[in-house]
């Protein structure tokens, strides 16, 4: 009865009007809000509306992160960057009206169809460099470039998204460098891991090189289940470059994935490269001024706080958690705060149980729910394909446990296929039984 009422409530929200927009189905769901499809009633154009619950972002202490994303997107107007059109607010929610990108993540494209041809890969890399170069010229440094944050539109062109960890000129210290450790380990530049300050443009360039490597080969240049070994590989640089790539592509990858940031090729040099310039048509940014409305009375976004401001006594555990996860875990930072990404593919939560106990408890819980469990390469494969139990549906999920510290572990659940509602039911059950509340997890991370 309760689930039925919730379902009815959700359906009532579809068709709800928000200013000139009619809200439709849910596209994705995170820990502090939803993303819904919306239609401009006058023009019929579709948008994606990110609905953020104010109470949740205050509880999670990530108000500054949301402000930063909005302040950043307000600056950017480029065909290869997801556009922010409008920001509205009510007493309890913030509504970000964003460009609706229909082609999904570049990650899913590579995962499902494999590597691209060199010509296809170069075209997307040209668009990526165009978008990143534009951001840098605007004083915006992404700091979390990866395949999951590169979307594809219906014509196959890329759109850079997720600027929640980006940096603006206000975030640089007096030495002219950034110092917050952030990003996703497989894509993060060695100078960020060194924790001595880094140049935002140079570190973004490294991440672009990792993306180029993946789209041309189908696999990561630096990868290892042992994080210490992974970081050693990143510091060393010089990944194995397949000989079947053209000399131009090999040279480009080699010059970008140079571990010494001083010797690394710059964006300007990339644009001057012969291989890069084959069939290259530069993008035309639309920089004419446009007023983006923000309801400042309901949610003030005039100023973006500096990184030093984030170290105030009121929020020490937040910055320590950022540093810890960036340096010591297999997680990207946004995943720590958002339990579920937009595609609902991956969910993570923290736990104080030991790795051995977690594996045993996960196995017991999912077995009680009627799922079958297989152990393989240190992972649990959870499956439900019993047609007799139609209430559970068909589902395949990989479960893996990672150690952050001797007293803190992360459980990662990744759906291979199956019913999203059943997947959420499974994840909710495991999280309720095993997870540490987010506030406790952050405090524990400080140890």
Catalytic residue among 64, 108, 130, 144: 144
Q: Does residue 23 have a pLDDT over 50? A: yes
Residues 6+ apart with CB under 8 A from 206: 187, 188, 189, 190, 256, 257, 261, 264
Domain 106-272 superfamily per CATH: Transferase(Phosphotransferase) domain 1 (1.10.510.10)
Which pLDDT value is given to residue 210? 96
Q: Does residue 85 have a pLDDT over 50? A: yes
- Phi, psi values for residue 150, rounded to 5°: -115, 115
Q: Taking the domains of the chain in order of start, what are their residue ranges?
A: 11-100, 106-272, 316-445
CATH number of 316-445: 3.30.310.80
Q: How far apart are CA 426 and CA 64, in angstroms?
A: 32
- Per-residue pLDDT tens over the stretch 92-116: 888 889 899 988 889 888 988 899 9
In sequence order, what are the beta bridge partners of 415? 397
Please check if 50 is assigned to a binding site: yes
Is 144 assigned a catalytic role? yes
- The alpha carbon of residue 170 and the mean position of all alpha carbons in its chain are separated, in whole angstroms, by 23
Q: Please write down the long-range contacts of 439-442, taking CB distance under 8 Å and 24 or more positions apart.
A: 439/59, 441/321, 441/350, 441/408, 442/61, 442/317, 442/318, 442/320, 442/321
Which pLDDT value is given to residue 400? 80
- The alpha carbon of residue 187 and the mean position of all alpha carbons in its chain are separated, in whole angstroms, by 12
Q: How far apart are CA 390 and CA 379, in angstroms?
A: 26
Taking CA atoms, 107 is separated from 114, 155, 183, 318, 434, in Å, by: 10, 16, 16, 29, 29
- Per-residue pLDDT tens over the stretch 259-304: 999 999 999 999 999 999 999 998 887 654 444 444 443 343 322 2
- The secondary structure of residue 310, as a DSSP letter, is G
Among 222, 131, 228, 140, smallest CA distance to 178 is for 140
For residue 437, name the pLDDT band (cuts at 50, 70, 90).
low
Q: Does residue 335 have a pLDDT over 70? A: no
Q: Does residue 79 have a pLDDT over 90? A: yes
Give the length of the chain.
447
Which pLDDT value is given to residue 66? 75
In CATH, the architecture of 11-100 is 2-Layer Sandwich (3.30)
- Per-residue pLDDT tens over the stretch 105-162: 898 889 888 999 999 999 999 999 999 999 999 888 988 899 989 999 989 999 998 8
More confident: 373 or 333? 373
Residues 6+ apart with CB under 8 A from 241: 213, 250, 253, 254
3-state helix, strand, coil in the chain (%, to 5): 40, 20, 40
Among 187, 161, 167, smallest CA distance to 179 is for 167
Give the global pTM.
Answer: 0.62
Taking CA atoms, 12 is separated from 7, 48, 325, in Å, by: 9, 18, 39
């Amino acid at each position: 009865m309760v689930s039925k009422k919730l379902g009815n409530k959700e359906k009532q929200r579809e068709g709800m009007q928000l200013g000139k927009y009619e809200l439709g189905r849910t596209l994705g769901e995170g820990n502090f809000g939803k993303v819904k499809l919306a239609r401009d009633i006058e023009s019929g154009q579709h948008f994606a509306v990110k609905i953020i619950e104010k109470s949740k972002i205050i509880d999670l202490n990530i108000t500054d992160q949301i402000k930063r994303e909005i302040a950043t997107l307000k600056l950017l107007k480029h065909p290869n960057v997801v556009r922010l059109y409008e920001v509205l607010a009510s007493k309890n929610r913030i509504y970000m009206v964003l460009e609706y990108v229909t082609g999904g993540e570049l990650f899913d494209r590579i995962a499902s169809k494999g590597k691209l041809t060199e010509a296809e890969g170069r075209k997307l890399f040209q668009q990526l460099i165009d978008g990143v170069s534009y951001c840098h010229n605007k004083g915006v440094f992404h700091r979390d470039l990866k395949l999951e944050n590169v979307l594809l539109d219906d014509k196959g062109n890329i759109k850079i998204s997720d600027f929640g960890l980006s940096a603006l000129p206000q975030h640089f210290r007096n030495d002219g460098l950034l110092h917050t450790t952030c990003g996703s380990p497989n894509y993060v530049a060695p100078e960020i891991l060194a924790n001595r300050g880094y140049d935002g443009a140079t570190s973004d360039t490294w991440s672009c090189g990792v993306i180029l490597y993946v789209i041309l080969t189908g696999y990561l240049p630096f990868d290892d289940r042992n994080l210490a070994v992974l970081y050693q590989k990143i510091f060393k640089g010089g990944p194995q470059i397949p000989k079947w790539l053209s000399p131009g592509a090999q040279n480009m990858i080699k010059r970008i994935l140079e571990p010494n940031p001083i010797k690394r090729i710059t964006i300007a040099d990339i644009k001057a490269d012969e291989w890069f310039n084959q069939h290259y048509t530069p993008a035309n940014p639309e920089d004419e001024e446009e007023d983006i409305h923000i309801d400042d009375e309901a949610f003030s976004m005039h100023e973006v706080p500096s990184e030093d401001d984030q170290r105030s006594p009121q929020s020490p555990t937040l910055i320590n958690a950022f540093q810890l996860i960036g340096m010591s875990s297999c997680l990207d930072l946004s995943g720590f705060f958002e339990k579920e990404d937009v595609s609902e593919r991956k969910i993570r939560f923290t736990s104080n149980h030991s790795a051995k106990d977690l594996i045993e408890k996960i196995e017991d819980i999912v077995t009680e729910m009627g799922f079958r469990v297989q152990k393989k390469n240190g992972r649990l494969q959870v499956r439900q394909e019993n047609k007799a139990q139609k209430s559970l549906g068909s589902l395949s999920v990989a479960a893996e446990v990672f150690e952050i510290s001797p007293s803190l572990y992360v459980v990662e659940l990744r759906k291979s296929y199956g019913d999203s509602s059943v997947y959420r039911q499974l994840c909710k059950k495991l999280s309720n039984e095993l997870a540490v509340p987010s506030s406790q997890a952050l405090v524990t991370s400080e140890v």
